[in-house]
Every structure is written in C-alpha cells, then in structure tokens.
C-alpha cells in the first residue's frame, strides 16, 4: 500500500481529516509525523534562514521526521479558499521551499488551490492529484466528496461541541475508547473563561506554546478558541471590526479576537509568531479594539524558538492574577 506522509504542522490542524479521508478513499495509507519535539524544531530551524517564522521552521522539522517513513509527502500550495481572501506567501511556496531546503524529502504530492480561478480549475487540480492513485475519475470524485463530508463533520465537532482540533481529530479517528474531554466542559471548579486567539498551529502545538491550554486548564480556567465559533460568528465580528478581510487568518485572529472581546470571557490572550507580517498587523487591530472597548483584559504573547518557558509562565501568571483581582473587585462593588 502506498504511504502518504502528512506533516503535523501548519494546515494540518485545519484540514487533516479531509486530507486523510481523501487519500484513504484512494487506497493509500496515511502517516502523520509525531507531535513536535525539541529535536524536530532544531532540525527544521537548521534548514532555513534565521528570520523565517517559527511555524515554517516547525513544518520543515516535521518533513524531516517523515523522511524514510512514507512514499510521498503531501504539501499543498494553498493560495485562497475564499473569494479574494489570501493566504500568506509562505503557504504558496511551501512545496517549492521544501524541495529546495530538504532535498532528501520523499517525492512531494502537491496541489495548487486558488478558488479565485474558478471551480473548474479546482476540480481539475483535485483530479490531477487523485490520478497519482487511480485513473478512474469517478473514484477520485467519490474520494473528494467523502473528504468534504469529513471536513464538515470536523468543523461541526469543533463549533457545536467545543472541541479543539486535536480532540476532534481524536474523536474522528475512533482510536480511543474514551470520549475526549471538551475544553468548554470543565468541572464546577471552573473560575473564569479565557479565550485564546491565533493560528491553530500556534495554539495547539504544545511544544512551541509551552502547553498553554494545559496550564490554563490546570488553573481551572475554561478555555475557548477560534474553532469553537461558527463561520458566521467570525465573519460578523470581522465585518464589525475591519470591514472586508484580506488574509485567510483574519477569522482566527481578528474575527475571534473581536468576538471574544465583546463579552462572555474574562480575558483574551492573542498568540503570535515572531517574524510573521500578517500577525503583527492583525493582532494590532485586536489590541486596539481591546483598548477601545476597555471591557475585557487582553494580553499578546509572541512565540519564537528561543521563547523561554519561564517567561511564558510568568506572563501568564501575572495576567491571571490581574483577572482574579478584577473579578474580586467587581464582586466587592456589587456586594
């Protein structure tokens, strides 16, 4: 059976169930790289120039982790998935960059996705990818339909049931006996709700964010993330804040940030990657909105490969302490 490798980085968190279903429907076995480790991060960093953003360095490390483990590696070049809304340039050049910096990479299965070129071009691109496994166009069509269904189910699990991408993937994979715990369903000890906003590859990679979600849960905070909002909620928040979006990620940064700042949570933490141009602009908008509204405390954390765990912990503790004092003051005033 042909083995297709998928790096556990970047768009993995958004599309893994869809990609997995597509390849499995075509008879391939899907192999995923292991969760990020220091060794993976260091190996990826060693292949690219120093000012490359952290998530791309992590991605390169995951490609290296798949060398020798699969026959092909799937690296799509995704320009746009919504009309006139674009991905950052790193995503467009991902297959070419990988080929250049990791010559030992397994052969790359790539596909250009740009919805602005029209649906027929998209279908042709999917068919070209499927032809690597079968000449039967109906089989490719069936695989694409099944993949889309899997994606819808994945989205629904997150927005309706409050699951994070790793939890929803676990739920869909059927490999565990117990149901994963939802972030939004913590115990009665729960004190307050904190929203995390940022790219999924920063929020859910426990190595690079120093287990932020885990730390908040341990402190008995209920955690909300962008994936737990519906597309309509995110789009509405963006329209209110900036009008029409330009970057694909405005939903998970500006949309989620704007939505959560308007109420329902005690604090918002924005996570950005050092060296990311779009993030610096988008998180600035969220920061300005927080200053304008003055209703919800906001903190931004910038992550890079040298970010020390102690630094993250100290800032987190100070932020939570401030929220705690704010709550206590409010309670005293009400009493």
Please report, as ranges, the residues that interact with ligand SF4 according to CB under 6 A.
53, 55-56, 88, 90, 199, 249, 273, 276, 278-279
As measured in angstroms, the least distance from the Cβ of 53 to ligand SF4 is: 3
92: tokens are 């467009």
- The residue (of 266 and 279) whose beta carbon lies closer to ligand SF4 is 279
CA angle 300, 298, 82 (to 5 degrees): 70
Considering the complex, state which of residue 123 and residue 274 has its C-beta at the smaller distance from ligand SF4.
Answer: 274
State the nearest-atom distance from the C-beta of 293 to ligand SF4, in Å. Answer: 25
Q: In terms of CB distance, is 201 or 221 closer to ligand SF4? A: 201
Instruction: Beginning with the edge strand found earlier in the chain, give each strand of the sheet holding 3-6 in spatial order.
Output: 29-32, 3-6, 72-74, 108-109
Q: Is 223 helix (H, G, I), strand (E, B) or coil?
A: strand
What is the chain's alpha carbon radius of gyration, rounded to the nearest angstrom? 20
- We find the least distance from the C-beta atom of residue 272 to ligand SF4, in angstroms, to be 8
Give ∠ CA 194-197-198 in degrees, rounded to 5.
150
Going by C-alpha positions, the residue among 53, 90, 86, 54 that lies closest to residue 75 is 90
CB of 87 to ligand SF4, least distance (A): 8
Minimum distance, C-beta of residue 58 to ligand SF4, in the bound complex (Å): 10
Nearest CA-CA partner of 230 in 294, 167, 158: 158
Helix, strand or coil for residue 299?
strand
| Angle (deg, nearest 10), helices 137-161 and 12-25 | 140
Nearer to ligand SF4, 143 or 303 (CB): 303
Sign (positive or negative) of CA dihedral 5, 205, 12, 95: negative
Calculate ∠ Cα 251-261-155, nearest 5°.
Answer: 35
Rounded Cα distance between 196 and 36, Å, is 20
Minimum Å distance from CB 177 to ligand SF4?
A: 35
CA separation for the pair 201, 166 (Å, rounded): 11
CB of 149 to ligand SF4, least distance (A): 28
Q: Which is nearer to ligand SF4, 11 or 237 (CB)?
A: 11
- Which residue has the CB atom at the shortest distance from ligand SF4? 276
Indicate the residue among 229 and 276 with the shorter CB distance to ligand SF4: 276
For ligand SF4, give the closer residue by CB, 169 or 303: 303
């Amino acid at each position: 059976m042909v083995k297709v490798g998928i790096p556990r980085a970047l768009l993995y968190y958004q599309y893994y169930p869809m990609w997995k279903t597509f390849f499995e429907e075509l008879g391939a076995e899907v192999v995923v790289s292991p969760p990020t480790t220091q060794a993976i991060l260091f190996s990826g960093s060693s292949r690219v120039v120093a000012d490359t953003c952290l998530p791309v360095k992590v991605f390169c490390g995951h490609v290296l982790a798949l060398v020798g483990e699969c026959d092909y590696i799937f690296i799509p070049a995704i320009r746009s998935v919504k009309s006139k809304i674009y991905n950052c340039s790193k995503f467009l050049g991902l297959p070419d960059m990988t080929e250049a910096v990791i010559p030992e990479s397994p052969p790359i299965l790539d596909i250009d996705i740009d919805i602005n070129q029209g649906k027929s071009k998209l279908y042709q691109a999917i068919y070209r990818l499927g032809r690597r496994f079968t000449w039967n166009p109906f089989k490719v069509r069936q695989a694409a339909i099944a993949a889309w269904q899997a994606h819808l189910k994945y989205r629904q699990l997150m927005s309706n049931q409050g699951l994070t991408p790793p939890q929803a993937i676990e739920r869909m994979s059927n490999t565990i006996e117990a149901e994963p715990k939802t972030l939004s369903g913590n115990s009665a000890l729960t004190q307050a709700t904190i929203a995390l906003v940022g790219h999924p590859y920063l929020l859910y990679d426990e190595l690079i964010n120093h287990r932020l979600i885990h730390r908040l849960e341990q402190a008995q905070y209920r955690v909300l993330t962008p994936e737990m909002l519906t597309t309509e909620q995110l789009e509405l928040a963006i329209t209110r804040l900036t009008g029409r979006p330009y970057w694909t990620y405005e939903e998970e940064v500006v949309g989620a940030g704007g939505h959560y700042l308007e109420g329902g949570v005690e604090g918002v933490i924005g996570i950005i990657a050092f060296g990311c141009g779009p993030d610096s602009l988008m998180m600035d908008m969220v920061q300005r909105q927080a200053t304008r509204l003055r209703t919800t405390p906001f903190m931004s954390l910038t992550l890079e490969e040298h970010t020390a765990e102690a630094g993250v912990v100290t800032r987190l503790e100070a932020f939570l302490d401030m929220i705690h004092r704010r709550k206590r003051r409010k309670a005293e005033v009400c009493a």
